[in-house]
């Protein structure tokens, strides 16, 4: 159900920063958002077609929603700073009353856009493959070439391990050197697997070492996960945006006024009870 309602929620999130509720003419709002609508539709259709990464309707929808949200945020910032120039003006606006909630909203909405891209691209384009490889053998996966250099035994501080060496290439350039391990700790006999991980802004590569198959061959599990870091980045941006909005002075003053009003009401009630 959450997936079904998410697109509608994101559409309203894009309308929120620009709409003047109960005072906004629909035609005027549509005119302001026509650029965001055109950009989001164009980007979504492009990603849905098999011209980019094999194409995906869900990836196209995710990009459409994210571009829609980002475009609306840019338009909102453009309106806010239409008559304010320079970093000094931005800093003064940030310190003004009520501004922290606005910038917190901007940051949180940006985090939602990043989160949508991360979740959708991981679910649509991640690749996982179990293979048998010999030393010196290479394998193509998700636009990368994985070269298996073999396994050697090493001794750690409290474990013995089989340590593999896998090099990943993008074209002719080596982009990752991975060392997955299969460890047996001295205090126990059950082996533990330590994956080799190469983290990047747009993709993560994981290699897990399986079982020895004889003759120097090993079973390996290869993972390619695009934009997985964006899931965490989006969540962090949402959290920071929420904290920034919650730090707005208006909310503290409102809470103080509410507390003062409650105290005054209690005082009046006690006074009336005492007089009777």
- Write down the domain spans for the chain: 2-125+229-249, 127-226
Between residues 166 and 9, the one the model is more confident about? 166
Query: What confidence tens digit (pLDDT) does each residue in 100-122 have?
Result: 788 888 899 999 999 999 988 88
pLDDT score for 63: 85
pLDDT score for 237: 95
Across the range 242-270, mean pLDDT stands at 65
Rounded Cα gap, residues 102 and 73, in angstroms: 11
**In percent, how much of the chain has pLDDT > 70?**
77
- Which of 12-26, 47-61, 129-143 is the most confident on average? 129-143
pLDDT score for 50: 60
pLDDT score for 79: 78
pLDDT score for 20: 67
- For residue 38, what pLDDT band results from cuts at 50, 70 and 90? confident
Contact between 230 and 236 under an 8 Å Cβ cutoff? The reply is no
pLDDT score for 90: 65
Average pLDDT over the chain reads 81
**Which residues, at least 6 apart from 253, have a Cβ–Cβ distance to it below 8 Å?**
none
């Amino acid at each position: 159900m959450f997936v079904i309602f998410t697109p509608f929620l994101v559409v309203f999130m894009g309308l929120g920063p620009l709409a003047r509720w109960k005072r906004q003419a629909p035609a005027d709002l549509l005119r302001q958002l026509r650029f965001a609508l055109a950009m989001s539709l164009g980007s979504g259709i492009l990603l849905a077609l098999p011209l980019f990464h094999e194409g995906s309707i869900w990836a196209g929808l995710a990009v459409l929603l994210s571009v829609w949200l980002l475009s609306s945020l840019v338009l909102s910032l453009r309106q806010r700073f239409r008559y304010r120039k320079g970093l000094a003006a931005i800093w003064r606006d940030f310190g003004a009353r009520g501004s922290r909630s606005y910038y917190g909203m901007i940051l949180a909405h940006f985090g939602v856009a990043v989160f949508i891209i991360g979740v959708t691209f991981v679910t649509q384009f991640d690749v996982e493959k179990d293979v048998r490889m010999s030393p010196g053998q290479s394998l193509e996966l998700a636009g990368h070439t994985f070269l298996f250099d073999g396994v050697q035994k090493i001794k750690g501080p409290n474990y013995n391990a089989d340590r593999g060496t896998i090099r990943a290439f993008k074209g002719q350039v080596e982009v990752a050197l991975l060392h997955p391990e299969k460890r047996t700790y001295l205090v126990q006999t059950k082996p533990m697997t330590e994956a080799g991980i190469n983290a990047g802004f747009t993709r993560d590569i994981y290699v897990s070492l399986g079982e020895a198959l004889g003759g120097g061959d090993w079973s390996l599990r290869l993972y390619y996960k695009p934009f997985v870091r964006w899931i965490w980045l989006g969540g962090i941006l949402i959290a920071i945006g929420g904290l920034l909005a919650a730090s707005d002075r208006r909310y503290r003053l409102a809470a103080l006024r509410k507390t003062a009003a409650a105290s005054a009401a209690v005082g009046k009630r006690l006074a009336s009870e005492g007089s009777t």
